[in-house]
Structure formats: structure tokens, C-alpha cells
Amino acid sequence: MVLCGIDRIGRMLPRRFYGLKAGLLIHPASVSRKLIHAKELLLRSKKITVSAFFGPQHGIFGNTQDNMIEWEGFIDKDTGLPIFSLYGNTRKPTEEMLKTIDYLIIDLQDVGARYYTFIWTMSLCMEACEKAGIPVVILDRPNPIGGHITEGPLLETNFTSFVGLHSIPIRHGMTIGELSLYFKDRFYPNLDLTVIPLSGWRRNMWFDQTSLPWVMPSPNMPTFETAIVYPGMCLFEGTIISEGRGTTRPFEIFGAPFIEPDKLIKKLKDFKLKGVFFRPLYFTPTFNKFAGELCGGAQLHIINRETFKPVLTAVAILLSIKELYSGVNLWRNPPYEYEFEKLPFDILAGSEKLRIHIESGKPLKEIETEWQKKLRNFLKKRSSYLLYD
């Protein structure tokens, strides 16, 4: 049986924190194995005194639907405690916010991809807490797409943004607790950090093997299957192609009004991609790109998640679209996630190289080979921070 940090905090929280004022950084997926939310569990704990709440992108209650919709803090009507927004006027806790707490508990469900902003909210909290001398307690959760597979290019330091503050690959294969140890050692060495680890989780586990309930960590991450394709298909946020927002299967569906589904599928077959089947379809998004317009495209059906490579698959799709519709400028213009100069695709990819390779029609295998060397180096670096076999 897999237990998350929230299920174990009652037994594993160090005694030095008992009775101190705690801040809670939480969101809708901060639930126990029995689906009890961390807010409720920790408010009734005799060991923890909650004095403030903090919320990441999409809000503490998942109240903002789309990307880049800011929200402002407010007073919680149930407790009268402040709820501070870390996706509004600031993305890092201010000195005033931190004056209300003695330590910060972080319980966020990541999905295993560099662009998912919760890990960067955690990182910015670590930075602010190190400066303020405030301890951080991470309640670990599974990486839903496993800790045994990594993929994609590493972020180059001059392309840092809120979808990538430190140099890790797109699919990093770490839990949020492991990432916190990696970040502390390399960037926040003076931080007082405690990780309450998972129990019963193994690196090769997928989320549906944990028997834990899936709660949407963000509004467009409705299912565990969405998380499987997300490391690749989120790249489409940096293009004019719809990534399926405004449909019931975001990131599994993609397309645009100018795409002819059968023609695209025929082209994709040439890549002989493993673990995925492309089903041609038409769809009409209800919001976001091409809202109300009929789009042609495809749905990804994962037939073998162990062999499926989401990043490679996304690149193959973009190579195909670029070849079939060479007159179309695929790249979305800034701003995107607080970056106002660099192209959104480049900050998602971690550099301009991937976009240039797609533009030039570089062979898919050569593109993958280029990121493999740096990926191997990353695997060596991360090995000492792994908590699970």
C-alpha cells in the first residue's frame, strides 16, 4: 500500500515543529489516501498549528481554469486565516507573508514534467524560506508517470522562466520530495529542509498501480492518462496548434482548422513511433485556441506506456505538420508565463535548438540523440537524491 507524506505526517513530523505556527502550501490534489484534504487534516491535528495558507497556479481550490489567469489572496471564510496567492502579484512568498509562520509545509501533486509550475512554486518558496530562516517540510507524493523514465532536452540557463527555473530535463523522473533535495543541495544549501517520504512506492510504479485516488492537480489535468502524454503535448502551448484545451481530453487531442486528419496520420506513420496510436478526428474547442472553430487533428491513444516517448512523439507531430503545411508559422508569440521576449516554445523546450531543428526538418533520431548525452549526465547528478528504489 502506498502512503503519501500527508498520510504519514502525524507520525513523522519532527517534534521540534509541534505547536509552532505552520503555513500550508496546498491545492485541490492535496488529499490523503482516504480523500480527506490536507487543510482539514492539518487543522484538526493536535501537533500542528495552522496560521496561514498559500496557493499556487490555479488557486488553492483550483478556481482558475486556464493558464496565466492570476488570482489574489483572500481570507478563508471557514477559519478566518489568510490565503496568500503565489500566482498573482508575486510568485514567491514575501517577507510579510512569511512573518505569519514559523515553518512552511508543502503538499503539492506534481505530474513529472518540467513545465508543470508547482515544482517551481516549491523552489521559490525554498528560496524565500532560506533567506528568512524558515524551515520547510515537504510532504512527498508519487511521480504519476513513474520515476524510471526520463526524456527530453535539459533547460539551458539563459532560458529560465516560471516553467523552468533550474536545469532539469522535460521528463525528470523524480518525486517532488526528491526534487526538493536536489534543489536544496545545488541552490539553497542553507535551507532547513525536511522531507516526509512516501511509503510503499517504487520507481517503476505508475499512478494507477498505487491505489491512490486521482484528484485533478489542475483543471486541465483531468485524468492520469493526461499526465502520460503531457510531457510532450504541453509543447503545443508554445505553438498555434490547439493542445486540446476546451475539449474533454486536453493534451490527448490536438489540431487546427487547416489540418487534414488523414493526411497527417499518414505522415506520422512514417516515424514508426512506439506505444502510441493516432486516431484521426475533428473537434471544436469551447475555449482557448480556435474556440468555436472546427479543427482537424488526432487523438493519442497510448497502447504501451513503457515504450511510449511523449516528447519524441510531440516532436514527430510538429515535424509532420511543418512538412505538410510549410507556409504556416507554427510558433506562438510571447507573452507566456511571465516571459515577454523569448518565444513560448523556446522556454518550454529549454532553448531555441528544438524549434530550429523542427524548422530545418532535422531527422527525428538525430534530434533525440542530441539531448541523450546531457540526459545521461543529469541521471548521474540526480542519483544521490533519489529516495526510492
> Each residue of 165-192: pLDDT tens digit?
999 999 999 999 999 999 999 999 999 9
> Each residue of 315-359: pLDDT tens digit?
999 999 999 999 999 999 999 988 899 999 999 999 999 999 999
Is domain 224-375 classified as CATH 3.30.30.10?
no
∠ Cα 339 189 175 (to 5°): 65
pLDDT of residue 29: 97
The cell for 322 is 511543418
pLDDT of residue 64: 58
Phi, psi of 300, rounded to the nearest 5 degrees: -85, 125
pLDDT of residue 63: 63
∠ Cα 302 362 325 (to 5°): 75
Residue 57 to residue 76: CA distance in whole angstroms:
17
Residue 375 to residue 358: CA distance in whole angstroms:
20
pLDDT of residue 61: 76
What residues does each domain of the chain span? 5-220, 224-375
> Each residue of 274-325: pLDDT tens digit?
999 999 999 999 999 999 999 999 999 999 999 999 999 999 999 999 999 9
> Each residue of 206-232: pLDDT tens digit?
999 999 999 999 999 999 999 999 999
Q: Is the dihedral of CA 335, 253, 275, 219 positive or negative?
A: positive
C-alpha dihedral over 349, 353, 355, 360, to 10 degrees? -160
Find residue 131's DSSP bridge partners. Answer: none
Rounded mean pLDDT of 126-145? Answer: 98
* Mean pLDDT taken over the chain: 96
pLDDT at 251 over 80: yes
Provide the CA 271 distance to its chain's centre, in angstroms. Answer: 27
73-82, 125-134, 227-236, 313-322: the lowest-pLDDT one? 73-82
pLDDT of residue 264: 98
Q: Which CATH superfamily is domain 5-220 in?
A: Uncharacterised protein PF07075, DUF1343 (3.40.50.12170)
Instruction: Give the pLDDT band (50/70/90) at residue 364.
Output: very high
pTM equals 0.96
Rounded mean pLDDT of 76-104? Answer: 95
> Each residue of 154-165: pLDDT tens digit?
999 999 999 999
Residue 338 to residue 47: CA distance in whole angstroms:
39
Rounded mean pLDDT of 90-106? Answer: 97
